[in-house]
Amino acid sequence: MSQDPYDLLGVTRDADADTIKKAYRKLARQLHPDVNPDPATQEKFKEVSAAYEVLSDPQKRAAYDRGGDPFGGAGFGQGAGFSFTDIMDAFFGGQGGGAGGGRGPRSRRRRGQDALIRIEIDLAEAAFGVSRELKVDTAVLCTTCHGDGAAPGSEPVPCDTCRGQGEVAVVQRSFLGEVRTLRPCSACGGFGTIIPDPCRDCSGDGRVRSRRSLTVKIPAGVDTGTRVQLGEQGEVGPGGGPAGDLYVEIHVAPHETFIRNGNDLHCTVTLPMSAAALGTTLTLPTLEADVEQGAGSGVETSFELEIVAGTQSGSEQVLRGRGVPGLRGGRGDLVVTTVVETPTRLDPRQEELLRELAALRGEEQPTGQVKAQQKSVFGRFFGH
């Protein structure tokens, strides 16, 4: 060999692999033809690359240290190959291996995908929480091969094409010499091994489809669109890899009495004209009434709503703390809107009484009150 590779890289003979790689990267950044096109520098770059090929390969390094020819007859720097991966490492700081070695075989074990299911619950269940048993159809670990993919009594064998590396080198000639790029082995798919006798149950995938039951606890305060995450309850990964997560998306069914707005509940009560004028008391159900309660639980299932005399149609009463509990604590309000119903059909006696009432109140010929619509804040500010 024309020059000692240790001297070319500027390292000692007992330097470890990391030290050799760092030295090569530093020199490659300085000498690469894209950085320095000088012909002498290009020749120096080829010598440095060949030196690195020797010292980064344990077998070639051992052959050189014993005084042999690491290239098997090819002169040092004469058509010596080097890995394109190493040049990219020099400029971008990659972790690729030396010439003759790359990223290595990839594992058959991979994380599974997340799964999503949707369920419908009642408003009361959303408000106070509930536990539901679900039937889930996902990929689970194959119990026959335990995720290996091989039939019982057999095991994966190294790939003959890539010799277990998972990658094959593609060599191309250039003005730099032989440029080798690493590509995944097409014979084994980059795994480095081949399963000669796949498991009959999972066809070598390491997982099978199965329907199973699980219980999900839905916290109080959820709403439509809320997703509850169940860790590692999703799809088991290929090769028996860890399972993904399962997401349970909530849809809250409409309620016959209450409408939800955030953590507040809204309902409407319709009163006859006389009740609104004289005042009355109504019994309204609570949301707790929809939840099955044991005897003597003491949970309030209804309450008395006072309608004061002279209540107008469209008026609202806000009952604090009777809404939906929040996910982070607290509880919303119940807003009760009153609608006064005007009778559309009167018998003669009823009409007579109403006319007497109108006369007593001086309302035989009401003129009505017409008021200008109040301007909004923006209208007052801009003058329109």
Q: What is the mean pLDDT of residues 272-296?
A: 83
Q: What is the mean pLDDT of residues 138-143?
A: 94
Q: 148 and 83 in one domain? A: no
Residue 295 reports pLDDT greater than 80: no
Q: 331 and 223 in one domain? A: no
Q: What is the mean pLDDT of residues 359-366?
A: 83
Give which of 136, 105, 130, 101 is closest to 118, Cα–Cα.
136
Over residues 48-58, the pLDDT tens digits come to: 888 888 888 88
Q: Which of 6-10, 63-67, 249-253 has the highest mean pLDDT?
A: 249-253
* Residue 308 included in any domain: yes
* Residue 188 included in any domain: no
CA distances to 3, 54, 104, 176, 275 from 84, rounded to whole Å, are 23, 15, 15, 11, 90
Q: 273 and 248 in one domain? A: no
- Cβ contact 258:333 at 8 Å: no
Q: Tell me the pLDDT band of 372, cut-offs 50, 70 and 90.
A: low
| DSSP code per residue over 329-359 | S-B--EEEEEEEEPPS---HHHHHHHHHHHH
Give which of 138, 238, 236 is closest to 195, Cα–Cα.
238
Domain that holds residue 36: 5-92
Q: 268 and 241 in one domain? A: no
Q: What is the pLDDT of residue 42?
A: 78
Q: What is the pLDDT of residue 271?
A: 95
Which helix or strand (DSSP H or E) is residue 188 part of? none
Q: 318 and 227 in one domain? A: no
Tokens 């030295």 belong to residue: 23
Residue 377 reports pLDDT greater than 60: no
Q: How far apart are CA 115 and CA 249, in angstroms?
A: 11
Q: Tell me the pLDDT band of 294, cut-offs 50, 70 and 90.
A: very low
Q: What is the pLDDT of residue 80?
A: 41
SS (H, E, C) 256-294: CCCEEECCEEEEEEEEEHHHHHHCEEEEEECHHHHCCCC
Q: 354 and 316 in one domain? A: yes
Q: 244 and 132 in one domain? A: yes
* Residue 312 included in any domain: yes
| Cβ neighbours around 37 below 10 Å, total | 9
* Residue 172 included in any domain: no
CATH number at residue 317: 2.60.260.20
Q: What is the pLDDT of residue 364?
A: 81
Number of structural domains (the chain) is 3
Average pLDDT, the chain: 83
Q: What is the pLDDT of residue 99?
A: 38
* Residue 268 included in any domain: yes
CATH number at residue 30: 1.10.287.110
Q: Tell me the pLDDT band of 68, cut-offs 50, 70 and 90.
A: low
Q: Tell me the pLDDT band of 174, cut-offs 50, 70 and 90.
A: low
Q: 225 and 126 in one domain? A: yes
Q: What values do phi and psi take at 39, rounded to 5?
A: -55, -40
Which has more confidence, 284 or 33? 284
Q: Which of 61-65, 177-181, 186-190, 262-266 has the lowest mean pLDDT?
A: 177-181
Q: Computed from CA positions of residues 268, 271, 273, 275, in that sequence, does the dihedral angle turn out positive or negative? A: negative
Q: 264 and 247 in one domain? A: no
Q: What is the pLDDT of residue 57?
A: 85
Q: What is the pLDDT of residue 65?
A: 78
279: left (phi over 0), alpha (psi -120 to 50) or beta: left
Q: How far is CA 143 from the centre of its chain?
A: 28
Q: How far apart are CA 68 and CA 5, in angstroms?
A: 13
Residue 123 reports pLDDT greater than 90: yes
**Residue 224: how many CA atoms within 13 Å on its side-chain side?**
11
Q: Tell me the pLDDT band of 378, cut-offs 50, 70 and 90.
A: very low
Q: What is the pLDDT of residue 296?
A: 47
* Residue 168 included in any domain: no
* Residue 124 included in any domain: yes
- Cβ contact 12:6 at 8 Å: yes
Q: How far apart are CA 273 and CA 343, in angstroms?
A: 8
* Residue 170 included in any domain: no
Which has more confidence, 383 or 59? 59
Q: How far apart are CA 186 and CA 45, in angstroms?
A: 32
- Cβ contact 151:145 at 8 Å: yes
Residue 150 reports pLDDT greater than 90: yes
Q: What is the pLDDT of residue 298?
A: 64
Q: 122 and 239 in one domain? A: yes
Q: 141 and 57 in one domain? A: no
Q: 247 and 222 in one domain? A: yes
